[in-house]
Amino acid sequence: MNINATLISQALIFAVFVYICYKYIWPPILSTMEERENKMAAGLEAAKQADDSLEEAKLTYEKELKEAKEEAANIVEKANKRSSQILNDAKVKAEAETEKIIESGSKKLENEANKTREELKQQLSSIVVETASKIIDEEIDEKKHENIIKKAAEEI
């Protein structure tokens, strides 16, 4: 257990190993660590930013969704209004048309009736005369009995 030149040798060996560590071991490990630290910091920052923009996008999305919903509701309401209006108009028009048709129909009917009546009136006089002459077997002067015939015709 005596002190000898081993001490000096060990001091020198120590120096050599410290130098090796200083030159070849320490720098690459430390630089890798520092680089990774920086990368992680950047990554965390980016993640935070992404979170923020996600939040923002969510807000925008919700706002736009709400607006779209409102607009859709508006459009539907408008469409409903418009359809009911169209329906109404069509109804009114159809009613008017119907009335018109009915009216013209009844007018035509009346005309037809009048015409028939007129014709009947004219024919009746001759029929009556004919019939009467047949009945009484005597020619009746048409002119003479014109008044009577007229009266009869009018009574029809």
Q: Does 18 sit near other proteins (CB under 8 A)?
A: yes
Residue 27 Cβ vs other proteins, minimum distance, rounded to whole Å: 9
Q: Which residues contact 124 (CB under 8 A, 6 or more apart)?
A: 152, 153, 156
Any contact of residue 29 with other proteins (CB under 8 A)? yes
What tokens were used for 44? 């965390």
d(CA 123, CA 153): 10
What's the rounded Cα separation, in Å, for the pair 148 and 129? 11
CA 107, 113, 116, 122 dihedral sign is negative
Q: Which is nearer to other proteins, 9 or 123 (CB)?
A: 9
CB of 54 to other proteins, least distance (A): 24
Cα separation, 58 vs 62, in Å, equals: 6
Q: For other proteins, give the closer residue by CB, 17 or 61.
A: 17
147 binds other proteins (CB under 8 A): no
Shorter beta-carbon distance to other proteins: residue 37 or 119 = 37
Residue 102 contacts other proteins per CB under 8 A: no
Judged by CB under 8 A, which stretch of 11-19, 60-68, 98-106, 143-151 contacts other proteins?
A: 11-19
Q: How far is CA 51 from CA 21, 56, 59, 61, 125, in A?
A: 43, 9, 12, 15, 109
- Could you say which of 4, 134, 147, 155 contacts other proteins (CB under 8 A)? 4
**Is residue 42 involved in binding other proteins (CB under 8 A)?**
no
Rounded-to-integer distance, Cα 82 and Cα 135, Å: 75
Residues lying near other proteins in the complex (CB under 8 A) = 1-11, 13-18, 20-22, 24-26, 28-30, 32-33, 35-36, 38-39
